[in-house]
Amino acid sequence: MNILFVADPLETFQTYKDTTFSMMRETQRRGHRIAACEPRHLSWRSGGRVQAHLREIALTGAPGEWFEVQREVMRPLMEFDAVLMRKDPPFDSEYFYATHLLEQAEREGARVFNKPGSLRDHPEKLAIMEFPQYASPTLVTRDAEDVKRFHAEHQEIILKPLDGMGGMGIFRVGADGLNLGSIIETLNHHGTTTIMVQRFVPEIAQGDKRVLVIGGKPVPFSLARIPQGSEIRGNLAAGGKGVAQALSARDFEIANALGPVLAARGLLLVGLDVIGDYLTEINVTSPTCFQEIHQQAGFDVPAMFVDALEAAMRA
């Protein structure tokens, strides 16, 4: 197969932990050909096809110069067997526009994973609204008084922006309500921006579990991202420690319920965030943790992913 990865600049990859790199390595191991571009390299002109200025590459196996460019070329996306959208968040206007270009490429015959329309339809924090039976008590609002009433009911809460990533902008407020008004103003910009508020789940001390679902089926191990020191955030980007562990019965229950539903919508790879027994986010843009789970638990997540990709291409 010819596979195009739409991703961040290759030069920024930290290959010892990067999930997209692990996908590339497994696809090359199986004899597939690899090309890469960034969303900014996508373009469309009336009368033509969505195309990309891309680099056809081969992985070298070296730790430093890990890829070599075989040639640079402009090619229509429909010429590839699969296009993998692996651009990291934030889901900003440019990401949004890229999904529309990729959706046009689909209309022209390209196979894009995850499906561009489903990327738009499943904002990573708000997607849990469809599955409230698995989520902790949650409020989505821009109204400060709503937030204060939610705090009065639940005492300990977490507040976060809807467009945050890597744990940015997350606040915990205790029963005393210290600084609650100031935090609300910071996040909702005096009532102009919608935010999310959730009841604090103390099991965060045991980790914010990333449960991967591939082709509708759960990977049997999660990566628990455990807060360190005085932090409440387990995100690896915020200094959390990643520990691979077998899925709990509740993890399987959530993953088995959501997996087939999301896979049917063209979401080949999904990352569910679970704290204790509660679903907190549904990540669809570029879920990670392949290498950490593979290295610590011995389960070959990249192989499971490429198996699912090959099966999707045969379907």
Residue 149 bears catalytic tag = no
Residue of 86, 125, 199, 209 marked active site = 125
Strand partners, 158: 172, 198
Residue 233 bears catalytic tag = yes
Residue 307 bears catalytic tag = no
Q: Is the peptide bond before 90 cis (omega within 30 degrees of 0)?
A: yes
Decide if 195 contacts 139 (C-beta within 8 A). Answer: no
Distance CA 16, CA 184 (A): 38
Residue 121 bears catalytic tag = no
Residue 160 bears catalytic tag = yes
Residue 281 bears catalytic tag = yes
Distance CA 78, CA 109 (A): 5
Residue of 18, 103, 208, 281 marked active site = 281
Q: Which residues contact 140 (CB under 8 A, 6 or more apart)?
A: 126, 129, 162, 194, 195, 196, 197
Residue of 106, 188, 283, 292 marked active site = 283
Q: If 0-12 CB within 10 Å is exposed, 13-18 middle and 19+ buried, where does residue 303 land?
A: middle
Distance CA 277, CA 253 (A): 10
Cα–chain-centroid distance for residue 235? 13
Residue of 225, 235, 251, 292 marked active site = 225
Residue of 160, 208, 209, 292 marked active site = 160
Q: Which helix (H) or strand (E) holds 279?
A: strand 278-283
Distance CA 212, CA 232 (A): 22
Residue of 210, 235, 251, 292 marked active site = 210
Distance CA 22, CA 59 (A): 11
Strands 2-6 and 82-85: parallel
**Strands in 50-156 per DSSP E:** 51-59, 67-76, 82-85, 112-113, 138-141
Residue of 26, 208, 233, 292 marked active site = 233
Residue 210 bears catalytic tag = yes
Residue of 18, 124, 208, 273 marked active site = 273
Report the chain's terminal Cα–Cα distance, integer Å.
Answer: 14
Residue 49 bears catalytic tag = no
Q: Give the residue numbers marked as catalytic.
A: 125, 160, 210, 225, 233, 273, 281, 283
